[in-house]
Amino acid sequence: MAVKTIRHISDPVLRRKTKRVLKIDKSVLQLVEDMMDTLEQSDGAGLAAPQIGLSLRVAVLWMPEQEPFAIINPEVVKRIGEREVEEGCLSLPGYQGKIKRAVSVTVKCLDIEGKPLRIRAKELLAQALEHEIDHLNGILFTDHLESPDKLYKLEPKPAEQSTEENTKTSPVIGGTNHSGQESTHAV
């Protein structure tokens, strides 16, 4: 188990364009494992390699009530429609913004075994894929804000909510964390 420190929004590594993975070797598998551990600890819905300091085209996604999975060298090849969403990022804890995302996307990538995958996704998964692939291109969700007033600070949770059900309330994309619990936050 290796939980890595999540880089914050001012870290220049988040602005660097990432390199493609040429071979899924032991170091890539280790990276994916560390990213899964880090994501589990932070209770987010997705994490991109630059968020733990590595400029490599690797991201992991963990949708509510589903198994986590990694995407290698992902590219969005098709976007359909537009909708307004609430979004946040583990690299900007405590904030959320209203931005526009596609209604559905098609993503080409490799899975962890190097098999080519084409993912057609909508709603939360589409949003998470766009968000993580943005990270791999040095883009943060705050870049999509139409104006600064579309970003707002989340109110800290009142202490009485820290019951068993409500302890995992850190930010995740789209309002639900990977435990499937409703949350008012985003990744």
Residue 119 has which token pair?
Answer: 């993912």
89 binds Ni ion (CB under 5 A): yes
Q: Is the dihedral of CA 69, 74, 79, 83 positive or negative?
A: positive
Active site residue 65: no
Closest CA to 110 of 159, 74, 148: 74
Question: Which residue in the shown chain puts its C-beta closest to Ni ion?
Answer: 89
Instruction: Specify the DSSP element, H or E, that contains 19.
Output: none
Catalytic pick from 132, 146, 160, 165? 132
When the beta carbons of 31 and 161 are compared against Ni ion, the nearer one is 31
Closest CA to 38 of 10, 72, 70: 70
Task: Annotate 123-172 with DSSP letters as a single string.
Answer: HHHHHHHHHHHHHHTT--GGGG-SSGGGEEEPPPPPGGG-SGGGS-----
Closest contact distance (angstroms) between CB of 90 and Ni ion is 6
- What is the distance of C-alpha 29 from the center of its chain? 18
94-105: b (≥16 Cβ within 10 Å) or e: ebbbbbebbebb
Residues 20-59 that bind Ni ion (CB under 5 A): none
When the beta carbons of 89 and 102 are compared against Ni ion, the nearer one is 89
Total residue length of the chain? 187
Q: Could you tell me which stretch among 81-89, 105-113, 119-127, 159-167 binds Ni ion (CB under 5 A)?
A: 81-89
Q: Give the total of residues touching Ni ion (CB under 5 A).
A: 2
Residues 145-184 that bind Ni ion (CB under 5 A): none
Q: Could you tell me which stretch among 35-43, 87-95, 98-106, 152-160 binds Ni ion (CB under 5 A)?
A: 87-95
When the beta carbons of 7 and 83 are compared against Ni ion, the nearer one is 7
Closest contact distance (angstroms) between CB of 165 and Ni ion is 25
Closest contact distance (angstroms) between CB of 89 and Ni ion is 3
When the beta carbons of 110 and 130 are compared against Ni ion, the nearer one is 130
Closest contact distance (angstroms) between CB of 4 and Ni ion is 14
- Residues of this chain that interact with Ni ion (CB under 5 A) are 89, 187
Q: Which residues are catalytic?
A: 132
